[in-house]
Amino acid sequence: MFDVLFQESLPQQPSGSLDCGVYMVTYAECLSYGHKILANEFDPNALRTRYVALLWNYGTRKQDVNAHSNVEAPLRPPRQSRITSVTEVFDV
């Protein structure tokens, strides 16, 4: 079996919002890296920007080696989660 842990004061999406994806992905990432989720540091817009940058970087590296599938793609470098720090945002 498994243990169930309850966390209080988690950030929640506004009522009526259909934007649950960024919350779900961030929770999953925090759980997998063993980080706590702090409501006062949760910035959905910054997190969206971060995830877009990660996907863009991976897609660019995949294109650079002319990979046609994820199997042929270069290995993703190991990374440390830094979900609360976004230092610069660039419009592309």
pLDDT along the chain (92 residues), means of 10: 72 75 83 76 84 88 85 69 51 51
User: Backbone dihedral region of 3: left (phi > 0), alpha (psi from -120 to 50 degrees) or beta?
Assistant: beta
Q: Give the separation between CA 73 and CA 66, rounded to whole angstroms.
A: 8
| Per-residue pLDDT, 83 | 54
Cβ atoms of residues 76 and 51 within 8 Å: no
Cβ atoms of residues 66 and 55 within 8 Å: no
62 falls within a domain: yes
18 falls within a domain: no
Structural domain that includes position 53: 40-74
11 falls within a domain: no
67 falls within a domain: yes
Q: What is the pTM of this model?
A: 0.60
9 falls within a domain: no
Number of domains in the chain: 1
| Per-residue pLDDT, 77 | 63
Token pair belonging to 68: 């046609």
Cβ atoms of residues 48 and 26 within 8 Å: no
Token pair belonging to 90: 């660039």
**Dihedral sign from CA coordinates of 33, 51, 78, 66:** positive
| Per-residue pLDDT, 67 | 84
88 falls within a domain: no
91 falls within a domain: no
49 falls within a domain: yes
